[in-house]
Structure 1
Amino acid sequence: MANIKDIAKQAGVSISTVSYALNGSPKVTDETSARILAIAKELHYIPNAAARNLKKQETKIIGVFLTDFSGSFYGHLLQGMKEGVNQSGYDLVVCSGKQSHQLLPQRMIDGAIVLDETFSSEELLRYADLGHKLVVMDRDLNHPNINQVLLDNKAGATLAVEHLIELGHRKLYVVTGPKGSFDSRQRLQAVKQVIDRHPDLQYIEIEGDFNKSSGALAGIQIAQGYSEPAAVFCLNDEMAIGMYDYLITTDIRIGEDIHIIGFDNIEVTQYTQPRLASIDYSKQKWGLLASEQLLKLIAGNDVEHEHIYVTLVKGKSMGAV
């Protein structure tokens, strides 16, 4: 692969002259610049991105770090992020896995949006201390170079459980998310705060994993022990759909014998019969706001932590117990 020295040798000029020409500097005449660019093209020269980024201290690329890409949740989220960065002339690269963490210390990106539990909070604070700009969507971190754009998980979980209690339920199953999930911990904490105010409510916790299969497994457990009307709060919609898909194969009537509510209001919930209740918010707005906040940080502007507010979407066929 040709390098800048090869171009300089063929053009009969210094390396610094080639560098000026490749970067459009007025220090080189138009005639010399055109000749150097023609030779670079002839030699199939590709600029060294890492060296250029180090010199300019910018890449115009934003990194998004996700634990997972599965399910319908991430499409709207990433679309919002893409809108936010593109309108400011930046591009977006989506990453997953611990090896990709090196993009930050190597300064291959100008900043990062993090929704990825493979990052420890200590690691992110270390990067922030080194001057990296970060937006976190899955944890509480206080640092001048870190902005938080978080879902109002506690308000959503409170709405969900109080709705089920208003329907007359006195038996509540809660299907949790992964142990490492910030959102799951926040939602579960709010559930327990509501439960404490209703000592007559029977509470059963089932471990889930934010995917359909864990929702189906929870449905099997509930069906095997079913003896009276019950309510189920799945801490995300993927699990609620998995449970729904299993329970419709049984004699248990969803919306009558069991009421299910999820969290995220993904598109498929509106096509279930009866419609599953859920906690709604704009995934696209969440992504857009995260990218806008990061770009403000990069520009050196003051930013405040943000919350994405949520609402309850009731199941259309859900009646009282």
Structure 2
Amino acid sequence: MTSIKDIAKKAGVSISTVSYALNGNPKVTEETAAKILAIAKELNYVPNAAARSLKKRETKIIGVFLTNFGGAFYGQLLQGIQDALNSKGYEMIVCGGKESHRFIPERMIDGAIVLDFSFSSEELLKHADVGHKIVVMDRELNHPNINQVLLHNTSGATLAIDFLIEKGHHKIYAVNGPDGSYDAAQRIEAVRQAVKRYQYIDYHELPGDFNKHAGEKAAEQILNEFTDPVAVFCLNDEMAIGMYNYLAKTQFEIGKHIHIIGFDNIELSHYTQPRLATIDYSERKWGAVSAEHLLKLISGEPVENERIYVTLISGDSVQSI
């Protein structure tokens, strides 16, 4: 493997001059830098990332930590992160599982974007205390080295329940998310608060896990208890689509017997029949804003916590009764 010593020998200059040229330092004239870069290219020189990290204390890599990679949710989110990072010369690695947590203290990355409830808040605060820069998308943490970019879960869940009430629905089910999920906890609490405003609501909660199988199980239970048309708020679209899958095998019709609203407006929901009512926001923007805020933290720029606003897409899966 070619080293900077090899380049220095062929160019007839010192190792420090080669180092300056490769790093764009103005101490080297344009003519000398051009000569050195040409020789580096000729010799197929590849910079040593580990050495650069030690010298500059940077890797130009950001770690994105996710609870899992399943389902249709993460594509646009990661695209937004990648677009924002690439525009500033950074790359990303996507991580999952507790073993990957060591990337932060071992400084294998310059900062972390966390949407992963396998990280404890105590662990993140410990890393922040020693200077690591972190953006959290799934919890509220107050620390100078931690920034929050969160969804407006409360507004979204409230919009969903109010929409069902406006359509005349009195019996409402909510299909919850997984234990430990900040978004699920925020949404279900907002649902409970919204329902309390209406004295006449027959309200039920069912367990869920933010996947299609959980939606199928919830649909089965609802049909076992079915007497009259009901409305269902699935706390994410994947569970709503799971309900579609199950109901397609029965004589029950969505928008007639079972009225469904989801949350996330994932691309797959655009092709459901009838069109799924859902809570919409830009996953790509959520990812991009998170990346932009992390880069500001890393560069020492001031940055405020931010929430991503949501809107309602009425769809056809909820009709008036």
Task: State the TM-score, normalized to the length of structure 2.
Answer: 0.89
Which moves more between the two structures, 122-131 or 45-54? 45-54
Q: Deviations over 1:67-116 (max 9, x none)?
A: 11122211111111111111111112211111111111111211111111
Q: Does 1:110 align with 2:107?
A: no
Over 3 Å counting, the alpha-carbon distance change for 1:58 and 1:253 in structure 2 is same
Q: Does 1:183 align with 2:180?
A: no
Q: Does 1:141 align with 2:141?
A: yes
Counting only pairs closer than 5 Å after superposition, residues 1-20 of structure 1 correspond to structure 2 as: 17-18=14-15
Q: Deviations over 1:260-285 (max 9, x none)?
A: 00000111222222111100001111
Q: Does 1:54 align with 2:57?
A: no
How many residues align? The count is 316
Aligned position for 1:21: 18
Secondary structure of 1:192's match? helix
Whether contact under 8 Å (1:11, 1:39) holds in the other structure is: no
Aligned position for 2:215: 215
Q: Deviations over 1:192-238 (max 9, x none)?
A: 10121123211111111100011111111111111111110000000
Aligned position for 2:158: 158
Secondary structure of 2:226's match? coil
Following the alignment from structure 1 to structure 2, what is the Cα–Cα distance between the partners of residues 61 and 186? 31
Secondary structure of 2:158's match? helix
Secondary structure of 1:65's match? strand
Aligned position for 1:122: 122
Following the alignment from structure 1 to structure 2, what is the Cα–Cα distance between the partners of residues 59 and 253? 54
- Unpaired segments ≥5 residues, structure 1: none
Secondary structure of 1:150's match? strand
Secondary structure of 2:232's match? strand
Aligned position for 1:75: 75
Over 3 Å counting, the alpha-carbon distance change for 1:144 and 1:319 in structure 2 is same
Q: Deviations over 1:128-152 (max 9, x none)?
A: 1111111110000000111100000
Whether contact under 8 Å (2:259, 2:317) holds in the other structure is: no
Aligned position for 1:97: 97
Whether contact under 8 Å (2:255, 2:316) holds in the other structure is: no
Aligned position for 2:315: 315
Secondary structure of 1:94's match? strand
Q: Does 1:240 align with 2:237?
A: no
Query: Which residue type is aligned with residue 86 of structure 2?
Result: N
Which moves more between the two structures, 233-242 or 109-118? 109-118
**CA displacement at 1:291 relative to structure 2:** 0.8
Aligned position for 2:194: 194
Which moves more between the two structures, 128-137 or 311-320? 311-320
Following the alignment from structure 1 to structure 2, what is the Cα–Cα distance between the partners of residues 74 and 162? 28
Following the alignment from structure 1 to structure 2, what is the Cα–Cα distance between the partners of residues 183 and 219? 22
Aligned position for 2:86: 86
Aligned position for 2:278: 278
Following the alignment from structure 1 to structure 2, what is the Cα–Cα distance between the partners of residues 40 and 250? 65
Aligned position for 2:293: 293
Identical-residue share of aligned pairs (%): 57
Following the alignment from structure 2 to structure 1, what is the Cα–Cα distance between the partners of residues 113 and 40? 40
Query: Which residue type is aligned with residue 155 of structure 2?
Result: A
Aligned position for 2:250: 250
Following the alignment from structure 2 to structure 1, what is the Cα–Cα distance between the partners of residues 229 and 241? 19
The runs of at least 4 aligned residues of structure 1 exceeding 3 Å deviation read: 1-5, 17-20, 25-28, 37-42, 44-48
Q: Deviations over 1:158-205 (max 9, x none)?
A: 000111111111111111110010000000010010121123211111
Which moves more between the two structures, 73-82 or 308-317? 308-317
**CA displacement at 1:19 relative to structure 2:** 5.7
Secondary structure of 2:122's match? helix
Which moves more between the two structures, 166-175 or 311-320? 311-320
Secondary structure of 1:319's match? coil
Secondary structure of 2:173's match? strand
